[in-house]
Amino acid sequence: MREAMPGLRQPDRIRSYFAMERGPLLIVTVTGILYNVGLAAGPLLEGRLAQCLLEILRGTAQWSAMLAAAALYAVVTLFVQGMRYLKRFYVRRFANDVNRNMKRVLYNSLVHRSKPDLEQESVGGMMTRAIADVDACAEGMRKFTTEVFDTGVAMAAYLALLLVYDWRLTLLVSLFPPAALFLAERMKKPVSRCAAAYKESAGVLSGATLDRVSGAVTYRVFGLEERRNAAYEARLADYEKRAVAANLWENTMPPLYRVLSMLGTVPILWLGARNVQGNGWAAWDIAAFTAFLTCYTKLAVKTSKAAKLFNAVQKAQVSWRRVKPLLQPPQAVPELPAAPPAELVVSGLSFAYPGGGPIFSEVSFSARPGQVIGVTGPVACGKSTLGKVFLCERPYGGSIRFGGRELAALSPAERSTVVGYLGHQPELLRTSIAENILLGTDGDASPWLKAVCLDQEVSVMRAGVQTLVGDSGTGLSGGQQARLALARALCHRRPLLVLDDPFSAVDQATEGEIMAHLRQLAGESIVLLISHRLDLFPSLDQVLWMEDGHVTASTHAALMETCPEYAGLYQAQAEGGGSHEA
């Protein structure tokens, strides 16, 4: 059962992730305030140390006073750094939790999107969104959370301390830090533009990498390797260019931000010296001058970090805009048992891909529980498309009613209890043979392996039913992959089974044996058997002959008399041992 993530009601809202992490953020708040307020005590104690040293040199103080001041400075520093450690630990925990939760929602959204929607997306683009963009969002939120205290609270504490020492000088030097923040804000457009171009190029490069790896053998065999290498290098060069441009604005501007902020030290050195001499706006000693200069220096550093934070958040905003449409609230999907057997009635069924002409039209037939219906016809006549229509991945015309209910009107969860499908691609999991059949349920895979005549072959494998099939079943032959997928379909039987060419890689004897088992195990299920091999069709309950967009529903015997094309195809395969394809 797919459950909604508790506490995350609006995953496409940033505030939802902050609200979900209230505990860690509370600790970050407390430790952040203590840490940054403690930082403000640093300039005071440093100024006190400088003044104490001066008094010792003048002979008006003892070294014991210096040791006491140093001990206090050490204790305060130890406390401040302890708060810093706790704050950073929980900030990182917050970022990790956000990253995990956001990816969980994103992956949930991707795996439950319709196949047509996924086909419109590039694989590289989806990978970039699922990995790099979520990482960038979580990192931007981490930096923002960190700098709220490391910059915001600290700057407020430093500013308050400066005002205590000399409010006029403070107002004067406070003109410089905002200049850095203003410049950072002006960099928003180029930073966002370059970041968006970089993300787009990263997605294209990921797709090109997958294509280059998956098609390596084909490119090499047909002499296209050099051409594909050149195309890949072009993608890589574009990615490098975009990456440099994206990082240039973020990494070259901070020094300029710091220079602008530090310009305030010039009037401090001049006017602060006048304060020490007694002819300025305030009366200072060496401790006050040292504390003011140190405090402003730290304020300027914090300001430059805040300016850099603006640029980092601007880059994260680009990633957020890319992933936000995919962050949909996960809906609870109940695990429903298989629907009971029922009659299938197809009336006036038609189908066409977007922008194309009809593949077939006016398809009408009915079937009762326990019947096996063969579907065949010439190459590219739409056999496989007819089978996929029952999955309702795309809109169809006409009607498909199972048990009196329109198939397209059912929810995806309800439809999954009705239709079982086995296509050309077995879509095996990268796990054991047993797990590919059982899919996490309890039971024994052996009966299902025997039903598809795969038990003997599995028994001689080193790990038996625990043998790993590899990525997409690469550890098995094509025939073994198809039979393993058929075993899975039978194990999780549905009242309507659509089997697309399940016997294409087995001999006639094995095909007959599997068909006998299929009849027995399918029970009262309606089976649509799509095949180009017709040797089993005389024993089927009905046959659908597809040609030129038209479908004739009849029996094998009737088609042999009324359809010369079907009769000729059957005779040709019978004379050739069933090896001729339609």
My answer on whether 309 and 349 are in the same domain is: no
Q: Determine the number of helices (DSSP H) and then strands (DSSP E) in the chain.
A: 23, 10
Of the candidates 28, 27, 17, the one whose C-alpha atom is nearest the C-alpha of residue 99 is 17
Q: Please, are residues 95 and 138 in contact by the beta-carbon 8 Å criterion?
A: yes
Report residue 399 as tokens. Answer: 């009607």
Of the candidates 306, 207, 202, the one whose C-alpha atom is nearest the C-alpha of residue 244 is 202
My answer on whether 25 and 169 are in the same domain is: yes
Handedness of CA 389, 392, 394, 399 (dihedral sign): positive
CA dist 554 and 95 (Å) reads 63
The parent domain of residue 247 ranges over 14-326
Instruction: Give the predicted TM-score (pTM) of the model.
Output: 0.65
Q: Please, are residues 432 and 409 in contact by the beta-carbon 8 Å criterion?
A: no
SS3 sequence of 429-483 = CCCEHHHHHHCCCCCCCHHHHHHCCCHHHHHCCCCHHHCECCHHHCCCCHHHHHH
Could you read off the pLDDT of 32-84 as tens digits, one per residue?
A: 888 877 777 777 777 778 888 888 888 887 888 888 888 888 888 899 889 98
Strands (E) in 318-424, as ranges, are 344-352, 358-367, 372-376, 397-402, 405-406, 419-422
Domain assignment present for residue 332? The answer is no
Q: Cβ of 454: how many Cβ atoms within 10 Å?
A: 25
CA dist 107 and 110 (Å) reads 5
**CA angle in degrees (0–180, nearest 5) for 515-516-517:** 90
- For residue 326, the 8-state DSSP code is G
Q: How, if at all, do strands 496-500 and 526-530 pair?
A: parallel
Last residue of a domain, one of 294, 326, 358: 326
CA dist 105 and 550 (Å) reads 44
Domain assignment present for residue 357? The answer is yes
The tally of domains found in the chain comes to 2
My answer on whether 139 and 182 are in the same domain is: yes
My answer on whether 151 and 181 are in the same domain is: yes
User: How large is the greatest C-alpha to C-alpha distance in the chain, in angstroms?
Assistant: 125
Radius of gyration of the chain (CA): 36
Q: What is the pLDDT of residue 330?
A: 63
Domain assignment present for residue 339? The answer is no
Q: Cβ of 474: how many Cβ atoms within 10 Å?
A: 10
Domain assignment present for residue 439? The answer is yes
CATH of the domain at 394: 3.40.50.300
Strands (E) in 524-575, as ranges, are 526-530, 542-547, 550-554
My answer on whether 31 and 180 are in the same domain is: yes
Q: Which residue has the tokens 């690469």?
A: 474
CA dist 449 and 490 (Å) reads 10
My answer on whether 155 and 278 are in the same domain is: yes
Q: Please, are residues 17 and 139 in contact by the beta-carbon 8 Å criterion?
A: no
CA dist 36 and 304 (Å) reads 17
H/E stretch holding 90 reads helix 63-111
Q: Is 264 helix (H, G, I), strand (E, B) or coil?
A: coil
Q: Please, are residues 420 and 496 in contact by the beta-carbon 8 Å criterion?
A: yes
Sheet of strand 358-367, all strands in order from the earlier edge strand to the far edge: 358-367, 344-352, 397-402, 405-406
Domain assignment present for residue 412? The answer is yes
Last residue of a domain, one of 295, 326, 357: 326
**DSSP characters over 159-170:** HHHHHHH-HHHH
My answer on whether 319 and 397 are in the same domain is: no
My answer on whether 71 and 144 are in the same domain is: yes
The tens place of each residue's pLDDT in the chain, 582 residues long, gives 344 455 677 888 888 888 888 888 889 888 888 887 777 777 777 777 888 888 888 888 788 888 888 888 888 889 988 998 998 899 889 989 988 888 888 888 777 776 666 666 666 566 666 777 888 888 888 888 877 666 777 778 778 888 888 889 988 888 888 887 777 777 777 777 887 888 788 878 887 887 887 788 888 888 888 888 888 899 889 988 888 887 776 677 777 777 888 888 888 889 888 888 888 888 888 878 888 888 888 888 877 777 767 767 777 888 888 888 888 776 666 677 888 999 999 999 999 988 888 899 999 999 999 999 999 999 888 899 999 999 998 899 999 999 999 999 998 888 989 999 998 888 888 889 999 999 888 889 999 999 989 999 999 988 899 998 877 667 788 888 888 988 998 898 899 999 998 887 778 888 888 888 888 888 889 999 999 889 889 999 999 999 988 999 999 999 999 999 999 999 998 887 544 443
CATH of the domain at 261: 1.20.1560.10
My answer on whether 399 and 316 are in the same domain is: no
- The residues, ordered by sequence, that sit 6+ positions from 104 with a Cβ below 8 Å of its Cβ are 5
My answer on whether 247 and 108 are in the same domain is: yes
Q: Please, are residues 56 and 66 in contact by the beta-carbon 8 Å criterion?
A: yes
Sheet of strand 542-547, all strands in order from the earlier edge strand to the far edge: 419-422, 496-500, 526-530, 372-376, 542-547, 550-554
Of the candidates 381, 388, 359, 409, the one whose C-alpha atom is nearest the C-alpha of residue 528 is 388
